[in-house]
Structures are given as structure tokens and as C-alpha cells.
């Protein structure tokens, strides 16, 4: 799993107990997964369909640097299923895991449409294909 996006936990990200607010983390993950799906499926119109159990493994605190990892685990006809992990960038301690996040490829009317993709595409491959 590649960990692309990093976040520096700031005061506005905290809950009243002083640790990272789960809602902030979920917002970041939803956006991260959407961007991953957009890149993989080559379509800016993808929507979150389903998120499985969310395991808040450990908390993060102000000043921590965290990183978010997403990887595709299944390509359906219109859907893409991903797995997610968030961890502390310095200690590598796991903060959150989500086994399945399903995004659906939709057309301009919001209807599911086949994406035609079957495997993970790496950015380097995409550029190489465009250069040829």
C-alpha cells in the first residue's frame, strides 16, 4: 500500500478531549479515496457507495504527522473496492483501518456506468502510455 497524503494534526482537527476528531479523519479519507478512484477509473465522476466497518485503532494528537494509504482490492463492472489504512508517519503506529470502501463510476446523470478497468494503474505507466 502506498501512503501518499500526509496531514499535520492542528488544533482545529481535535475533538473536545484533545485528540484527533474521527469526523475530520473520515472526511480526509473519503476525499483521498475519491481521488484514488478518479485516477484509477479515469473519470472525475465517482461517488462513495459503501464503507465497511471502521476500526479506530489508536488516537492521534496535536502535532502528530499522519499518512493515509489506499489501495484497490477489487475492480467490478461499475465499482472499485479499496482498502484503507491511516498510520503515524513517524512511529508507523496504525491509527485507523477500513477493510472495504466501494466507489461507483457514474455518468453525467449520476447513473452507474461500466468503467472497463481491471487492474491497478500506476501513474508512471499512465505517462509512459501517453508518451508512446
Ligand X SMILES: CC(=O)SCCNC(=O)CCNC(=O)[C@H](O)C(C)(C)COP(=O)(O)OP(=O)(O)OC[C@H]1O[C@@H](n2cnc3c(N)ncnc32)[C@H](O)[C@@H]1OP(=O)(O)O
In the complex, the residues that contact ligand X under the rule CB under 6 A are 30, 34, 47-50, 76-79, 102, 104, 106, 110, 112
Q: At a CB cut-off of 8 Å and minimum separation 6, what does 56 contact?
A: 22, 95, 96
Minimum CB distance to ligand X, residue 44 (Å):
11
User: Among residues 18 and 116, whose Cβ is nearest to ligand X?
Assistant: 116
Residue 45 vs 89, nearer CB to ligand X = 45
Q: What is the 3-state secondary structure (H, E, C) of 41-94?
A: HCCCCEEEEEECCEEECCCCECCCEEEEEEEEEEECCCEEEEEEEEEECCCCCE
Nearer to ligand X, 89 or 117 (CB): 117
Q: CB of 53: closest distance to ligand X in angstroms?
A: 13
> What do you get for the CA distance between the two ends of the chain, in Å?
28
Taking the complex as a whole, the smallest distance from the CB of residue 108 to ligand X amounts, in Å, to: 12
What is the closest distance, in whole angstroms, from the C-beta atom of residue 109 to ligand X in the complex? 10
Amino acid at each position: 500500500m502506498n501512503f501518499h497524503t500526509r496531514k499535520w494534526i492542528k488544533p482545529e482537527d481535535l475533538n473536545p478531549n484533545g485528540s484527533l476528531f474521527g469526523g475530520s479523519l473520515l472526511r480526509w479519507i473519503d476525499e483521498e479515496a475519491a481521488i484514488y478512484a478518479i485516477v484509477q477509473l479515469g473519470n472525475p465522476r465517482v461517488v462513495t457507495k459503501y464503507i465497511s466497518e471502521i476500526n479506530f485503532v489508536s488516537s492521534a494528537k496535536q502535532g502528530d504527522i499522519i499518512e493515509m494509504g489506499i489501495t484497490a482490492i477489487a475492480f467490478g463492472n461499475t465499482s472499485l473496492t479499496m482498502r484503507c489504512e491511516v498510520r503515524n508517519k513517524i512511529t508507523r503506529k496504525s491509527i485507523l483501518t477500513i477493510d472495504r470502501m466501494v466507489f461507483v463510476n457514474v455518468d453525467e446523470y449520476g447513473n452507474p456506468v461500466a468503467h472497463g478497468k481491471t487492474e491497478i494503474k500506476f501513474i508512471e505507466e499512465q505517462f509512459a502510455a501517453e508518451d508512446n
